Amino acid sequence: MSAPRSRLPNTHGKPASVSNVSRSKAPSVLHGTAAEVRGQLDDLHSRYGIAEFIIETPALAAAERFASIERLVKERLSLAA
């Protein structure tokens, strides 16, 4: 029995092949206030069906990185309220 293959979703919710992924655009940098970054993430989600994002902040100290992520979380929570 072979191991299950991991699947990468494309914009139509169907599995994407490795060749499709390799032709994708290079990652871009999002920047701005928490509300602006949230809007950009929402736009990417709507346009391409992206369900999860990897967030990496340029802050050097751990406390700064945590505060940056915390601002995004608070923005998300304020929209839910």
Task: Give mean pLDDT, residues 59-75.
Answer: 88
Question: What backbone phi and psi angles, to 5 degrees, belong to 59?
Answer: -60, 140
pTM: 0.59
User: By the 8 A CB rule, do 49 and 10 touch?
Assistant: yes
pLDDT tens digits, one per residue of 10-20? 445 554 444 44
Is the per-residue pLDDT at 72 higher than 60? Answer: yes
Digit-coded pLDDT (tens) for 20-33: 444 566 767 888 99
Encoded tokens for 12: 């139509």
Is the predicted pLDDT of residue 65 greater than 80, yes or no? yes
d(CA 33, CA 28): 16
